Amino acid sequence: MTMSNLKLGVDVVSAHNLLPKDGHGSSSAVVELYFDNQRYRTTIKEKDLNPVWNESFYFNISDPSNLHNLTLDAYIYNDVKVAHSRSFLGKVSINGTSFVPYLDSVVLHYPLEKRGVFSRVRGELGLKVYITNDPSIKSSTPLPAAEDARAHAQSVPNSVPNTFSHAKTEARHTFHHLPNSNHPQPQQQQHISPVVAVPHHVTKYGVDEMKAEPQPPKLVRMFSASSAQPIDYALKETSPFLGGGQVVGGRVIRSDKAASTYDLVEKMHFLFVRVVKARDLPAMDVTGSLDPYVEARIGNYKGVTKHIEKQQNPVWNVVFAFSKERMQASVLEVVVKDKDLIKDDFVGVVRFDLNEVPMRVPPDSPLAPQWYRLEEKKGEKIKGELMLAVWIGTQADEAFNDAWHFDAAAPIDSSAAASTLIRSKVYQAPRLWYVRVNVVEAQDLVPTEKNRFPDVYVKVQIGNQVLKTKNVQARTFNPLWNEDLLFVAAEPFEDHLVLTVEDRVGPGKDEIIGRVIIPLSLVEKRADDRIIHSRWFNLEKPVAMDVDQLKKEKFSSKLHLRVCLDGGYHVLDESTHYSSDLRPTAKQLWKPPIGVLELGILNAVGLHPMKTRDGKGTSDTYCVAKYGHKWVRTRTIVDNLSPKYNEQYTWEVFDPATVITVGVFDNSQLGANGNKDLKIGKVRIRISTLETGRVYTHSYPLLVLNPTGVKKMGELHLVIRFSCTSFVNMLYIYSRPLLPKMHYVRPFNIMQLDMLRHQAVTIVAARLGRAEPPLRKEVVEYMSDVDSHLWSMRRSKANFFRLMSVFSGLFAVGKWFGDICMWKNPITTVLVHVLFVMLVCFPELILPTVFLYMFLIGIWNFRYRPRYPPHMNIKISQAEAVHPDELDEEFDTFPTSRSPELVRMRYDRLRSVAGRIQTVVGDIATQGERLQSLLSWRDPRATAISVTFCLVAAIALYVTPFQVVAALAGLYVMRHPRFRHRLPSVPVNFFRRLPARTDSML
């Protein structure tokens, strides 16, 4: 399929609530479409403010590479059949970055925009826009050039999309019409995504090119998130030598050599060995057969391919990568062996001197494999040839990610499944959808037992997700539920939607009346809250029925449903506090990226041993980074407590209020036991805390909370850079809601969100666990903070002290004002009195003074601004001196697995804590109810006093200038202690005597 067949399809569905322009309370609407110098027009709908067209048009795309710079414009006019006198009803402009393939397209109703400042428009236009390259679809016949086309060209002089106007077109979606169900869907249609230009990075280096003497990386500065944070747990800034040069103070000082593509990691050299195939190998067994495999060996390194049974011309096509810095030998031996039950036979060998192996640096072309004659152990040529390619390269080599890496000092057998587990991998998490099932009613149900009305409910299932409606004991065979059930589904849709109508015959005994099976791929998608038309589905019988019985069934039972895939939501599959993606599911609602995030994973130091091998402690570690839909996994460094990864990855950033998470794990799948991968620690970095273009090189402590307390498992050395591609778009994002519009139009409750998030994490873990190598469930759950919503005494105390810290400024101001009122410092108190009188005399200066003070505080704090991303703080987390029993409670399973006595003790402790919280909440409610009692006549005498006081105060305030009242009130509050009494004042005494609803509490 060629790019010349690429077309833009536009279905003009309907319009709603148009403005009457014909002078008779109506309009005759017609839509004109403009795209890539082509113009199409719909039919005219006479006298209709809610016209429905359901017409399709196809534009030719002349240059697909420039598609993201083009704009589709739709203009609605009131056609009065008089030349050059039609009136404007509104327009819609859709940016080329919003075009999606046909399978992802849905109908969107765009609010109509004004053409000018003085235009009057209202209403919405429903469009379905998609890209297709189906050759059976012919382009529409464009309209001839006319005066109105030239007018359009003048009104739209620039086709470059306006971010703000495009965002306004998607600000409000109200749907009243369905997509065109009669639209022909081409058979075996192939759709391709629109070409989107990837923005270039900003300048890599912020200073002039300088020469630097080679020196090892050293710590240049140490930061701490709090003065109380122990130094060992603090963040450390480093100055390493990377591919682009040395990093000093967040800037890269260029080296003499040209900068590498991987400029955020240290350059590492590897010996790559590509074993392609062999031919004419000699037969080794008595039967004349051969089960060959290849063993690449250098020093203690050994990489082994799988053996191929009974094949003298085998094909392997695998790549081995050996770390050059760990090599202790100068000769590479590539040995062909014959697999045998007792001892493998030697077939032949090819030797390479490492001093003669060529160096390859991209963008040089890959080294072509060559045929090499096999030799005996003594060096004589024998029958058979082996096709190989041997070269020295870096992690920028294309073969790096597909190679089997051997960074261990001990021999590793790569023929086992463990070889796959140590390779690096990039994963793409599935696109998740919310599935909304509205079970309306059933009709003509046939109960399992005669002479009784059924007690029915509907069980809905998608994969492992099962939900039920309430039981309906109706006096009819047409029960009504009208319940909404929500599920999570992932693309590609593998599971079906199964609805089962069941009759509760007795306690614990349910009989199936019938079921409906709906493939999710056929369910309608929507991107907003438009109405989905309901459908009747015939219930299939649970057991086979003979033909005579089917003939007797005059009417079949039916189920009334509304089913849709809600793409206007963001499916929450991670903790809301650490979200890495906030985009909705529907691709046409995605905004352009605002920047690029680059991450370099350098190394880890001081790791704790996680296992024992050959009598000594060791670890087989790998790193996982998660941001958005893209997960990455580094290669596993075997048997090393100070591994060097030096791998670099890139993500597109769509929202600065997102977090990238990097975790370190021990690979437990290399052994025969196959236990769960153990967590070593993780790092979270919020994008909004990063300066644009700055290179952050820090060593992050890996902190893990164990049942024995907080423990530092080592340090992870990372390099991170955020490059902004559109500063205006990034500022505009700060004005947008955090979540998509549907979360506010039709929000979910807390119980629904928790249930759906659990289902989403389970689906993502299952999909990533099926990749090769698999990303295990415990890794996905740890990276997604799946247990962050569970109760923890430690977290509760930490959140309480966080709350106290937030209000500490108010408490400090209150304490300072109390000292002023008590005249602790007479000079300061007199100055405050003078300032107060000035503000009372000139009240217009109050707000300017407050904002000027805030401005000065912000400018003063600029010099103390953080120069590092925030990191986990054990002091803030209340993890430094947590009680062991509280830790045991936090790590307990849910539901609990502890003894009843221990659970009783914890329950009593929780009751005491909740009792204190209950008391505080009750006191706050009491104060509010006392305020209501001032005028509610619950206490008639108190209300009479307060009403009389209000009348007197109204008269006094009317005749007294406001400045005098404010000055007297302020001076009274700040009066000298000589005029104060220890007893509470009269207003306080009166307020405390007012009744509250505490008397009504049981």
Place of tokens 């004002």: 817
Q: What is the pLDDT of residue 83?
A: 55
Question: Which CATH superfamily is 587-740+758-791 part of?
Answer: C2 domain (2.60.40.150)
Mean of per-residue pLDDT scores for the chain:
81
Distance CA 97, CA 199 (A): 13
Residue 702 pLDDT grade (very low, low, confident, very high; cuts 50, 70, 90): very high
Report the alpha-carbon distance of residue 358 to residue 342 in Å, rounded.
Answer: 38
Confidence of residue 727 (pLDDT cuts 50, 70, 90): confident
Q: Per-residue pLDDT tens for 204-251? A: 333 333 333 434 443 433 333 344 567 778 888 888 888 777 777 777
Mean pLDDT of 524-530: 90
- Sequence-distant (6+) residues with CB within 8 A of 981 are none
- pLDDT winner (highest mean) among 141-150, 572-581, 668-677: 572-581
State yes or no: pLDDT of 648 exceeds 70.
yes
Question: What integer is the mean pLDDT of 957-979?
Answer: 82
- Looking at this protein, which amino acid is placed at residue 248? V
Superfamily per CATH, domain 7-132? C2 domain (2.60.40.150)
Does the pLDDT value for residue 871 go beyond 50?
Answer: yes
H-state helical runs in 900-961: 900-936, 940-959
Q: What is the DSSP string of 581-629?
A: ----SSGGGPPPP-EEEEEEEEEEESPPP-EEETTEEE--EEEEEEETT
Q: What is the pTM of this model?
A: 0.76
Q: How confident is the model at residue 197 (pLDDT cuts 50, 70, 90)?
A: very low
**Helix (H), strand (E), coil (C) string for 294-312:** EEEEECCEEEECCCCCCCC
The average pLDDT across 478-492 equals 91
Pairing of β 219-223 and β 331-338: unpaired
Query: Rounded CA gap, 195 and 66, in Å?
Result: 8
Residues 6+ apart with CB under 8 A from 681: 663, 664, 701, 702, 703, 704, 713, 714, 716
Over pLDDT 90: what percentage of the chain? Answer: 28
Report the distance separating Cα 445 and Cα 451, nearest Å.
13
- Do residues 569 and 604 touch, judged by C-beta distance below 8 A? no
566: confidence class by pLDDT, cuts 50, 70, 90: very high
Taking only the tens place, the pLDDT of each residue in 25-78 is 888 999 999 998 899 999 999 889 999 999 999 999 888 888 888 999 999 998
- More confidently predicted of 687 and 894: 687
At residue 459, the pLDDT reads: 93
Q: Considering only residues 914 and 539, tell me which one the structure prediction assigns the higher pLDDT.
A: 539
* Mean pLDDT (whole number) for 786-803: 79
Identity of residue 738: L
Provide the pLDDT confidence category of residue 321 given band limits of 50, 70 and 90: confident
pLDDT level of residue 199 (50, 70, 90 thresholds):
very low
Structure token digits, residue 801 = 């002290």
| pLDDT, mean of residues 133-145 | 73
Interatomic CA distance for residues 858 and 45, integer angstroms? 59
Domain with CATH 2.60.40.150 in the chain: 7-132, 269-423, 432-566, 587-740+758-791
Q: Which residues contact 650 (CB under 8 A, 6 or more apart)?
A: 596, 597, 598, 599
- CATH, domain 269-423, list 1.10.10.10, 3.40.50.300, 2.60.40.150, 2.30.110.10: 2.60.40.150
Q: How many CB atoms lie within 10 A of CB 192?
A: 14
For 832-860, how does the pLDDT look when each residue is reduced to its tens digit (9 = 90+)?
A: 888 888 888 888 777 788 788 888 888 88
Burial of 880 (0-12, 13-18, 19+ CB in 10 A): middle
At residue 420, does pLDDT exceed 70?
Answer: no
Task: For residue 927, report the phi and psi dihedrals to the nearest 5 degrees.
Answer: -65, -40
Q: What is the mean pLDDT of residues 528-546?
A: 79
> Does pLDDT of 609 surpass 60?
yes
Residue 147 is which amino acid? E
- The angle at the Cα of 786, spanning 781 to 790, to the nearest 5 degrees, equals 145
d(CA 2, CA 4): 5
Do residues 460 and 468 touch, judged by C-beta distance below 8 A?
Answer: yes
Q: Find out whether 240 and 697 touch, Cβ atoms under 8 Å.
A: yes
* Dist CA 824 CA 811 (whole Å): 17
Instruction: State the DSSP code for 894.
Output: S
620 Cβ neighbours under 8 A, 6+ residues apart: 422, 611, 636, 637, 638, 639, 640, 666, 667, 668, 670
* More confident position, 891 or 464: 464
Residue 161: which pLDDT band, with cuts at 50, 70 and 90? very low
If we measure between CA atoms, which residue out of 414, 382, 297, 285 comes closest to residue 343?
A: 285
What pLDDT, on the 0 to 100 scale, is given for residue 444? 83
Tell me the one-letter amino acid at 148.
D
Superfamily of 432-566 according to CATH: C2 domain (2.60.40.150)
Rounded distance, CA 237 to CA 720, Å? 12
Q: What is the pLDDT of residues 734-746, one digit of tens each?
A: 888 889 999 999 9
* The pLDDT of residue 693 is above 70: yes
Q: How far, in Å, are 37, 160, 214 from residue 157 at the CA level? A: 12, 9, 55
pLDDT of residue 806 exceeding 50: yes
CB-based burial, 199-222: b 16+ in 10 Å, e otherwise: beeeebbeeeeeeeeeeebeeeee
- Alpha carbons 998 and 452: distance in angstroms, whole number: 51
Output the pLDDT for position 3. Answer: 56
Q: Residue 33 has what pLDDT?
A: 95
Between residues 413 and 384, the one the model is more confident about: 384
* Range from 250-264, 310-324, 388-402, 791-805 carrying the lowest mean pLDDT: 250-264
- Distance set, CA 552 to CA 445, 494, 576, 959 (Å): 15, 37, 56, 92
pLDDT band at 402 (very low <50, low <70, confident <90, very high): confident
Q: Which residues are CB-contacts of 167 (< 8 A; sequence separation ≥ 6)?
A: 591, 732, 736
Q: Is the pLDDT of residue 767 over 70?
A: yes
Region 370-390: what's the mean pLDDT?
A: 89
523: pLDDT strictly greater than 50 = yes
Q: Cis before residue 51, ω within 30 degrees of 0?
A: no
In angstroms, rounded to a whole number, what is the distance separating the alpha carbons of residues 401 and 423?
Answer: 7
**CA proximity to 234, closest of 857, 687, 703:** 703
Mean pLDDT, to the nearest integer, of 705-714? 87
| Mean pLDDT to the nearest integer, 387-404 | 86
Residues contacting residue 91 through CB under 8 Å, at least 6 positions apart: 73, 74, 75, 76, 112, 113, 114, 115
- Cβ(91)–Cβ(54) below 8 Å: no
> Do 412 and 421 form a contact (C-beta atoms < 8 A)?
no
Read off the tokens for 977: 């202690």
Strand partners, 34: 39, 73
Across 159-173, 323-337, 446-460, 779-793, least confident range: 159-173
Most confident of 61-65, 149-153, 427-431: 427-431
Stretch among 692-706, 710-724, 824-838, 864-878 having the lowest mean pLDDT: 864-878
Q: Which of 608-622, 714-728, 977-991 has the lowest mean pLDDT?
A: 977-991
* 139 Cβ neighbours under 8 A, 6+ residues apart: 7, 58, 59, 60
